[in-house]
Amino acid sequence: MKLSCIAAFILSGLSAVAFAAEPALKREGGAPPKTSKRSRIPSETPWTVRLQTDVAHVQRGFRGEFALLVKDLKTGEQYSYNASTPMYLASGIKVPVMMALYKEVSEGRMSLDDELVLGPDDIRDGAPLLNYLRVGTPVTLRILLEAMIQQSDNAATDMIIDHIGVDTVNEVLPAQSIFGFGRITTLIDVRRLVYRELDTRTAGLSPKDIFRLRLTKPLDARLDKLASMLDEPAGTFTAGDLSFAYATYYARGYNSAPMTSMAALLERIATGQAINKKASREMLDIMLGTQTGVRRIRGGLGPDVPLAHKTGTQYRRTCDFGIFYLADDHPVIFAISVKGGSRRAAEGVMSRLARKAHAYLNRMDAGDDVQSPDASGIAADELELLDPESRGAPKKRKSRRKSRARRKTPKKKRVGASQDELPISDAL
């Protein structure tokens, strides 16, 4: 059975991603570019050494932490930074889910043309495709798979996991000789596990309850609604409580892995060793169509470099796991996960280091001009974010270095915390 007309319309509307470059640094004709305070490293220096210099520089200016692994699959050379440290993957876990589905298909237990029916308990936050479909709509596994990876649809993800079994997802990685992953869960269980750190009675919340909580704004009202569901008075839970709940949840190791493990997974896909060559090729093609995270790895590479990737975002966690191509036969793994910092800063770390790595591997000069997509849109997988910066980049402030005589009216001082200080205004 084919998808309904409404589903086809939605899919066609989600099929394009537009990129708009940021202005490059202006240089007057004939004048040499200004050099930074850091001494430039000769271009003949190994790319790993050049990248290390940039990583050290970026880390000094970033208020969070990050882990990175870059591997040239043609030469075998690789660079790593904190790559053995387990990091939260967020929606990056959808890549192992995809691999598990292909394992079931390859062994004849199901087909990508099989249909699942969207039920009332399948409604999720962060579901840009399925939340527009009517309950009772049949959807093929192929459509669910593409929605899960390309639009990072959480409802599609949980429908696939429920269909193949969460144990199947967790078993596929060791079977492919990929180790180091923490327990992978459904997306609805991520919400339950966080809420459980607030109160163990939240284990009884239904998917509808959790979805209704997600629609309740602002955060204080959401927490008060949660309290009322548990027959507790308003004010029982605070934003600080929720922040602590996330910290505790992250410490338990769910949905986490070091970049070495994530890179091993990507390498198997890139080299045709994930399940089998046909499955690897199809997985790669699907990831090439990813529409989320336009300010991350894609922001550093620009629109013309082929990139197969999967993004992930959650409270104070931002990541992107990809394979970009220097040539058709020259894939490069670029896996990065960021902990802390603001959303914009984390994405800036990703795009800058991706741009540098790409330039150094191409033996090009990597100046300070950054090609970056338009920051006005919200990527689909950012719907599961807790950071207020998911609403898009803030407008640039005008310089305050004007003389008082030129100011017609005094500027009002902005009241409240900065965006860096408001990380959970849109939590769960």
pLDDT, tens digit, 9 for 90 and up, residues 63-114: 899 999 999 999 999 999 999 999 999 999 999 999 999 999 999 999 999 9
Q: Which residue has the higher pLDDT, 116 or 424?
A: 116
Domains of the chain: 43-90+256-361 (3.40.710.10), 93-251 (no CATH)
Average pLDDT (29-40) is: 41
The pLDDT assigned to 45 comes to 83
Please state, rounded to an integer, the average pLDDT across all residues of the chain. Answer: 81
Flag whether pLDDT at 20 surpasses 50: no
Distances in Å between the Cα of 240 and the Cα atoms of 32, 243, 426 are: 51, 5, 13
Give the pLDDT score at 366: 53
Percentage of the chain surpassing pLDDT 90?
A: 70
Q: Is 321 left (phi over 0), alpha (psi -120 to 50) or beta?
A: beta
- Residue that wins the pLDDT comparison between 37 and 327: 327
Judge whether residue 35 has pLDDT over 70. Answer: no
Local confidence band at 419 (pLDDT 50, 70, 90 cut-offs): very low
In the prediction, which pLDDT does 266 show? 98
pLDDT at 242 exceeding the cut of 60:
yes
> CB of 353 within 8 A of CB of 68?
yes
Q: Average pLDDT, stretch 109-135?
A: 94
Provide mean pLDDT across the span 244-265. 97
pLDDT digits (tens, 9 = 90+) for 209-218: 999 998 899 9
Residue with the bigger pLDDT between 427 and 153: it is 153
Show Cβ contacts of residue 165 under 8 Å, excluding neighbours closer than 6 positions: none
Q: What is the rounded end-to-end Cα distance, in angstroms, of the chain?
A: 35
pLDDT band at 364 (very low <50, low <70, confident <90, very high): low
> Could you tell me how far CA 317 lies from the centroid of its own chain?
8
Q: What are the two backbone dihedrals, phi and then psi, of residue 336, each rounded to the nearest 5 degrees? A: -140, 140
The answer to whether 373 touches 295, Cβ cutoff 8 Å, is yes
What are the tens digits of pLDDT across the range 300-322?
999 999 999 999 999 999 999 99
The pLDDT assigned to 342 comes to 87
Of residues 22 and 305, which shows the higher confidence score? 305
Q: What does the H/E/C string look like for 186-242?
A: CHHHHHHHHHHHHCHHHHHCCHHHHHHHHHCCCHHHHHHHHHHHCCCCCCCCCHHHH
pTM assigned to the model: 0.78
* Cα dihedral 255/257/263/265 (nearest 10): -50
pLDDT for res 23: 33
For 138-166, the pLDDT digits (tens) are 999 999 999 999 999 999 999 999 999 99
Of residues 409 and 208, the one with the higher pLDDT is 208
pLDDT at 428: 59
In which band, very low, low, confident or very high, does the pLDDT at 58 lie, cut at 50, 70 and 90? very high
**Residue 122 in 3-state DSSP?**
helix
The pLDDT value recorded for residue 44 is 76
Q: Is the pLDDT of residue 42 over 90?
A: no
